Structures are given as structure tokens and as C-alpha cells.
Structure 1
Amino acid sequence: MKTKCLIIDDEPLACALIANYVSKIPQLEVLAICHNALEAFEILKVKRVDLLFLDIQMPTLTGIDFLKSLSNTPKVILTTAYREYALESYELEVLDYLLKPIPFERFFQAIDKYFKSVSTQSLKTSHIDPSKEAPNYLQVNMNKKHHRVLFNDIIYAESLKDYVRIHTSEEAITTKEKISVFESMLPPFFIRTHRSYIVNSKKITAFTNQDIELGNIEIPIGISYKHRVFELLKRS
């Protein structure tokens, strides 16, 4: 029997990303997508839900308040852009707390926690091969051609309004995509340093409080990104 998932988020792109990730794991299926907590409440009254993917900041009723209102709560994975709710969420015994943008590898870890938590015998982590689900390349379109770009070859990417320019050691490829969507497709070793820039942490040669150096290339660190950038740099 498949795990029934309910996605609750007021951002359509965020819902689409989680639904896409769910589709990669055969043991999961999307039961419904809701854009606010009130819609979700109606579904929970009439249908069996095994796992909630729940955003926190939503209109009318926040994800945290929604959780507190439930008497019979399914397993919950929070999806949010705000790390300050982490402590409160764990007090509510959520399974995991995913910070947007969410790469597939991090999503997969949360799903692994879910299956371990319910002691599902029909699925073991060894039956899922993350290398098949998460390839080591990105496929993008430029000038009506499909380009396969290895993650390890990317030095950095920059936003050009509705386009992203991907810089590698060999070439620069420009594709029509919002940088926030492009960021969600990248593995965890990529770091968003600025509203317009994402860098490959493996290529960093030096950094200061203001910028990151990738060889002879300098990439600025935005004020609102500093805390997260330096946290990620410490881990890497």
C-alpha cells in the first residue's frame, strides 16, 4: 500500500517541486495539493493521509497553528524558508524540517526518516537507489538544444531576470529559468550567496565577509544571505 501524501503550501512552484519529488519514489503518492490549511483540514476529515508536507507561512492559518489544531495528526515534514521555527516545530514532534529551496537529496533523507519511523517492512532504504533518483548532472535547454551539465563542472550561476547563466570551466550556458527554481534542482554543495548568484562550494578558494572567491572570480555575499552562507561554509 502506497503512502498517501498531502502537500500544503500557498506557493504553486513549491507544491510542484514536492509533487515531482514524491513521483520519484514509487512507494509514495500525492493524495492532494492544498494551498491553505483550511483546504487541508477538509481533506483530513474524509480521507486517510499518512504524510503531510506542510509549509509554515501561509495566509489565514499558519502551518504551526494548523498542527496545534489537529487531534489526530499524520506524520509531518515541514517545508519552509524560515529556520527560526525549527525549535517550535520539533516540540510538535514533526519528522523533519526542510529549508527551501529543497534539493532532492535532502528530501530523500526526510523520506528515509518517515519509513524508519513507521517501521515499514515493505520498503527498506536499500530498495531505493539515490544515485538513480538523483543524477550527477543537470539537463538544460539553450538555443533549442539540450545540454547536459555535470554538477561538478559548474563554477557558479547568475540570474539574468527570467534566465540563468551557468558558468563552467569550459563554457557559459544561458537557459530560461528563474534562479529560485534552478537552485532547487541543485545538490546541497551549491550555496546561494546573493539574490543573483549561486556558487559551487567545492570551487571556493577563499572568502571574506563581503564576497566569495572562485579562483580569480569574485562573487558578492548579499546581506540577507550572510548568516546562512557562513553556516554552510562552516559545515563544508
Structure 2
Amino acid sequence: MAIKCMIVDDEPLAIEVIESYVDRISDLEVTATCNNALKAFEMLQKEPVDLIFLDIQMPKLTGIDFIKSLKNPPKIILTTAYRDYALEGYELDVIDYLLKPISFERFMKAIGKVYEVQSPEKAEANGVSEDDEYIYLKADKKMVKVRLHEILYIESLKDYVRVKTTNKDVITHQKISYLEEKLPEECFMRIHRSFIVATKKIETYSATIIEVPGKELPIGRLYKNQVLERLNSEHQL
């Protein structure tokens, strides 16, 4: 049975993008689109859905306030151009948080999480296991596949970045901020103006240093509070 989806966004182009992505997945179906949260609230009373793609910054009622107004909300994937709402979104138990512009690869990762909540077996059958996720980076005049689960850390080298994996180094002409936006926030964390670390590869950490296999990475002064708050919350016994 298809997963019934609603798209709520005040930008018509944003709705079109999500619709086009949903159309490429056989067991997803868009049953409603709304340009504001009040209209979405009304439609939900008449026709429940399984999943909502929800923008945050909208007139009349924000996406965050919309979620809080629902007694039994369906699964929700937030879609927004603003990174600032990520923590609040996760506190509201949303499935994922997509930053615009949304790539199809990143969209598929979010759908993989929906499958995992519904059925881990379905997630595996649809080929969205964590070990299969990857990005392509341009290096030495060719596109190199980098599997996300193999990344240890990313280092800024002025106009280039070094992506250090468990088995190779990939140096690409790119800004570290670009990769920060493209990589899933729940798996990677900016710890310094020059470093992003894969959180699952962290072996030890202190107030100033994070250690991954074969490397100690500094925690930047401006990132310290945010980094330690996240690490301490994720590693509480």
C-alpha cells in the first residue's frame, strides 16, 4: 500500500520539486498539497495522511507551531532554507530535516528513515541501508564515489577540502561549508572552521580534542559549546 503524502509549503516551486521526487518512488503518493499550515490542518481533519513534507517559515502559522497543534501527527519531514530550526525539529520527533535546495540523494535518505520507522526489512529491500549512502566528489579530473560510512573527517585546505576515509584521501576543489550542507547532520558535525567529523567514528573526546582512528582533531573555540552539548547528550549512560 502506498504511503500517502502531503506537501505543505508557501513556495510553488518547492512543492513541485518534492512532487517530482515522490513521483520517482513507486510506493509514495501525493494526496494533497497546501500553501499554508492552516489549510493543511483543515485537510488533515478530512483526509489523514501517513507523511507530511513540511516547510517551517510560512505565513499565518509556522511549521513548528503546526506540529505542536496536532494531537497525533503523522510522520513529518521538515523542509526549509534555515538551518537554525534543526534542534527544535528533532525535539518534536520529526523523521528528518531537509535543507533547501534539496537533492534527490538527500531526499532518498529521508525516505529511508521513513521506511526504517515503518519496517527495517522494507528499508533494506529498497536499498537505503546506511552502508549504501554515498556522494561523488570531483578529484583529479574525475568523479570519485565516497561512501559516507567510510568517512572519518573532512579538512579544509583553503579552496580545497581533504576527505579522509578509512581507505583513501580525496582532495576536491570545494569549500568545507558546501559539504557541511550536503552531509546528513545526524552523522556529521562541524567542530572547527577547518574540520567536520563523522560522529560514529569518534573514539574519545575532551573539551578541546576529538580523536578518530589515526588522528586528533581540535575543537574550535566558537564551536566548543555546541559540540560538547551534542556529544554529552549522545553519550550519556
TM-score range, shorter chain: 0.5 to 0.7
Paired AA for residue 147 in structure 1 = V
Q: Which runs of 5+ in 2 are unaligned?
A: 79-84, 100-105
Describe the shift of the 1:229–1:125 C-alpha distance in structure 2 as closer, same or farther (beyond 3 A).
Answer: closer
Q: Verify the 8 A CA contact 1:139 1:146 in the aligned structure 2.
A: yes
Query: For 1:38-57, what aligned pairs fall within 5 Å after superposition?
Result: 40=40, 49-56=49-56
Aligned to 1:156: 153
Paired AA for residue 196 in structure 2 = I
Describe the shift of the 1:64–1:147 C-alpha distance in structure 2 as closer, same or farther (beyond 3 A).
Answer: closer
Residue 147 of structure 1: how far off its partner (Å): 0.3
Residue 213 of structure 1: how far off its partner (Å): 2.4
Residue 11 of structure 1: how far off its partner (Å): 9.4
Rounded Cα–Cα distance in structure 2 between residues aligned with 1:57 and 1:66: 11
Q: Verify the 8 A CA contact 1:5 1:29 in the aligned structure 2.
A: yes
Q: Which runs of 5+ in 1 are unaligned?
A: 90-95, 116-123
Pairwise CA RMSD of aligned residues?
4.7
Matched, 1:230 2:232: yes
Paired AA for residue 213 in structure 1 = E
Residue 27 of structure 1: how far off its partner (Å): 1.3
Rounded Cα–Cα distance in structure 2 between residues aligned with 1:66 and 1:212: 38
Rounded Cα–Cα distance in structure 2 between residues aligned with 1:9 and 1:158: 36
TM-score (norm. length: structure 2): 0.61
- Count matched residues: 215
Aligned to 2:219: 220
3-state DSSP of counterpart to 1:155: strand
Rounded Cα–Cα distance in structure 1 between residues aligned with 2:156 and 2:26: 34
Rounded Cα–Cα distance in structure 2 between residues aligned with 1:149 and 1:19: 28
Describe the shift of the 1:131–1:112 C-alpha distance in structure 2 as closer, same or farther (beyond 3 A).
Answer: closer
Q: Percent identity?
A: 37
TM-score (norm. length: structure 1): 0.61
Q: Deviations over 1:185-231 (max 9, x none)?
A: x8x55444356532123543431112312334323251333311332
Pick 1 or 2: higher relative contact order, CA cutoff 8 A, min separation 6.
1
